[in-house]
C-alpha cells in the first residue's frame, strides 16, 4: 500500500478526511477501528480492497491473496517446537 499511496495518493484523489484525534486510553477503547488480527483476516481485507485492486490490478491482488492463503494453511498444518515440547510426554 505504501507504493500505491505514493503512486496514486488515493486519500488526496478521493478527498478523504482523516479522523479526529482520539483522546483517552486507546488500549481500553473498544469503538476504534483495528488492524487485522490474523493473516487470514488480513488476506480477506486485501482481497476485498478496491484501493489495492485499483493500484495493482485484479491479477496481482488475486495472486498475492492466494499465495498468502496457502501460506496460512501450511502454517496451521505445521507442528511447532513449542507444541512438541509441551505435549510430547502427555500424548
Residue with cell 479526529: 20
Contact of 39 with 71, CB cutoff 8 Å: yes
- Whether the pLDDT of residue 33 is over 80: the answer is yes
What pLDDT digit, counting tens, does each position of 45-56 carry?
999 999 889 888
The C-alpha atoms of residue 56 and residue 54 are separated, in whole angstroms, by 6
- Whether the pLDDT of residue 6 is over 80: the answer is no
Give the contacts of 62 (CB within 8 A, at least 6 positions apart).
47
What pLDDT digit, counting tens, does each position of 65-90 carry?
999 999 999 999 999 998 888 888 77
Would you state the pLDDT for residue 11?
Answer: 74
- Whether the pLDDT of residue 23 is over 60: the answer is yes
Would you state the pLDDT for residue 2?
Answer: 64
Would you state the pLDDT for residue 74?
Answer: 95
Amino acid at each position: 500500500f505504501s507504493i500505491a499511496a505514493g503512486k496514486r495518493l488515493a486519500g488526496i484523489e478521493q478527498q478523504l478526511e482523516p479522523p479526529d484525534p482520539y483522546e483517552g486510553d486507546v488500549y481500553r477503547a473498544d469503538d476504534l477501528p483495528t488492524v487485522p488480527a490474523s493473516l487470514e483476516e488480513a488476506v480477506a481485507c486485501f482481497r476485498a480492497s478496491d484501493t489495492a485492486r485499483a493500484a495493482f490490478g485484479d491479477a496481482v491482488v488475486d495472486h498475492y491473496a492466494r499465495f498468502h492463503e496457502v501460506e496460512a494453511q501450511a502454517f496451521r498444518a505445521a507442528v511447532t517446537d513449542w507444541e512438541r515440547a509441551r505435549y510430547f510426554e502427555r500424548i
